[in-house]
Amino acid sequence: MKYHTIDELLTNNQSWVAEKLALDVNYFDRLAEGQKPPFLYIGCSDSRLPLNSFTRTEPGELFVHRNIANQVSLTDMNFLAVLDYAISHLQVKHIIVCGHYGCGGIKAALEGSTTGIIDNWVNPIRELYLHNQQEINALPNREARLNRLAEINVLAQVKNLYQTSIVRKALHEQKAPTIHGWVLDIKTGLIKDLNVSTVQWQLPSCPLFAKPSIVTLREIHPTEGVAGCCCEETHQLR
């Protein structure tokens, strides 16, 4: 692959601007007015994955967050700020979690080839492998195993989105965007829609966002063996 020099990047920018203005003299005036993108794209930082190129979208159509192996980390304030802004302010209609085959983060998680901060970051993917070890190990070769783990990782990150208070609040208000799970095959350039069914994670009636009731300690009864968004059952004072 041929790589550009830093000077060529600036020259290419000037050429691109001239091409855009030749087609539409008001192109950059409209672009400067503000953004209202319909899509939030959560993807991998891999340099081979500019989704604008793969989908022929223009600047202003995709609000983007990228990190190693397209993680939806529930403790990453950068990601949570992007998600909150996308839903609350930009009011995006769709969220796309997009992984890819041949992902270095997936390889690192499966083969334990990293140390330090990167190893800490991909450790949740290693946990996914351990939980799906039987299915993945049954596949015929290394490439198939890595590809399947990349898909499982996307499914897990879609699920993680529904664990955030931001998405649950949007569900409760019936303003939640549609969430999609994609995997991009770099060998072909084609995007595979995993057709993730998210119904099981949608809890619009979650008590977390119900109007608070006045309760006393004696009226709080811990539930036994019930998993959900609340661990206690409350009764309103009468």
Of the listed ranges 1-15, 22-36, 93-107, 196-210, the one predicted with least confidence: 196-210
How many Å apart are CA 11 and CA 13, to the nearest integer? 5
Digit-coded pLDDT (tens) for 179-193:
999 999 999 999 999
Catalytic residues: 44, 46, 48, 100, 103
> Residue 98 is inside which H or E element, if any?
strand 94-100
Of 80-84, 157-161, 216-220, the range with the lowest mean pLDDT is: 216-220
- Rounded CA-CA distance 80/135 in Å is 32
pLDDT digits (tens, 9 = 90+) for 34-72: 999 999 999 999 999 989 999 999 999 999 999 999 999
What integer pLDDT is reported at residue 37 of this predicted model? Answer: 97
The answer for 229, left when phi > 0, alpha when psi is -120 to 50, beta otherwise, is alpha
Distance CA(209)–CA(199), nearest Å, equals 19
158 pLDDT band (50/70/90 cuts)? very high
Q: How far is CA 125 from the centre of its chain?
A: 14
Is it the case that residue 22 has pLDDT exceeding 80?
Answer: yes
Percent of the chain with pLDDT over 90: 76
pLDDT at 116: 83
Query: Which whole number is the average pLDDT over 17-32?
Result: 96
Cα dihedral value 122, 126, 132, 136, nearest 10: 90
> Is residue 222 predicted with pLDDT exceeding 50?
no
A 10 A CB-CB count for 98 gives 23
Average pLDDT over residues 108-115: 82
Specify whether the CB–CB gap between 106 and 147 falls below 8 A: no
**Of 61, 71, 97, which is closest to residue 182 (Cα–Cα)?**
97
Nearest Cα neighbor of 137 from 107, 100, 105, 110 is: 110
Q: Which helix (H) or strand (E) holds 222?
A: strand 221-222
- pTM score, two decimals? 0.83
pLDDT of residue 95: 98
| Per-residue pLDDT at 229 exceeds 80 | no
Residue 130 has pLDDT above 80, yes or no: yes
- Average pLDDT over every residue of 108-130: 88
